[in-house]
Amino acid sequence: MNLKDHLVQSLSQAVEAVFSTMLGARVLPAEVRFENGAPDAHDGVLSFIGVAGSWAGTGCVSCSPVVACRVCSQMLMTEATAVNEEVLDAVAELTNMIIGSVKNDLEVELGPLGLSLPTVVFGKNFRTKSAGHAEWIVRRFVWDSDAFEVRMCLAPSEQKASLQPHSLGPFNQMGA
């Protein structure tokens, strides 16, 4: 299995496990797509977390305000009707657990990786830009009548790439 397939599978398993364990909810993985370049403008909540090490990248959860409130309500067993600090914190922690689980899974093959603290943005018509040119793996998930996306990009860090240009083995199909 190449890294791209591994990442898609790992993302799905992590999302399903986190929703099942922490929210008592069942989500269904839907379509996967691959994006290059800057994504379209966002509306809603975008939570992202950095991954660093011999491979580096970013993991994100993007969802509507309604889904963010649902996450908070079910995770904290409270009533959330508008996006506030508690809702953003719940989405940040959700992202931390999802991307952290993926990181733990990938470490078996890629070696030690570190996670940054999560950052959450809430707004309308905003754009994001990541340094680097890695391809984004984007997976949509369906949660009852709602949906959200989890995306991740990961590429050999510059130091590793320059030191070990031929050592990527079966992972060389990852866009970098």
Site string for another protein, 15-34 (x = CB under 8 A): --xx--xx------------
* DSSP 8-state code for residue 146: E
Name residue 36's amino acid.
N
**In sequence order, which ranges of the chain are alpha helices (DSSP H)?**
3-18, 65-76, 85-110, 158-163
Residue of 25, 76, 142, 161 that binds another protein (CB under 8 A)? 76
Nearer to another protein, 39 or 87 (CB): 87
Residue of 72, 137, 138, 152 that binds another protein (CB under 8 A)? 72
Query: Shortest approach of another protein to residue 97 CB, angstroms?
Result: 5
Residue of 92, 138, 153, 155 that binds another protein (CB under 8 A)? 92
Distances from the Cα of 93 to the Cα of 14, 21, 128, angstroms: 13, 13, 20
Q: Is 57 in the site for another protein (CB under 8 A)?
A: no
Q: Is 117 in the site for another protein (CB under 8 A)?
A: yes
Query: Shortest approach of another protein to residue 7 CB, angstroms?
Result: 17
3-class secondary structure, 49: strand
Residue of 112, 129, 131, 166 that binds another protein (CB under 8 A)? 112
Question: For residues 7 and 15, is the Cβ–Cβ distance under 8 A?
Answer: no
Sign of the torsion formed by the C-alpha atoms of 99, 5, 17 and 25: positive
Length of the chain as a residue count: 176
Site string for another protein, 31-50 (x = CB under 8 A): --------------------
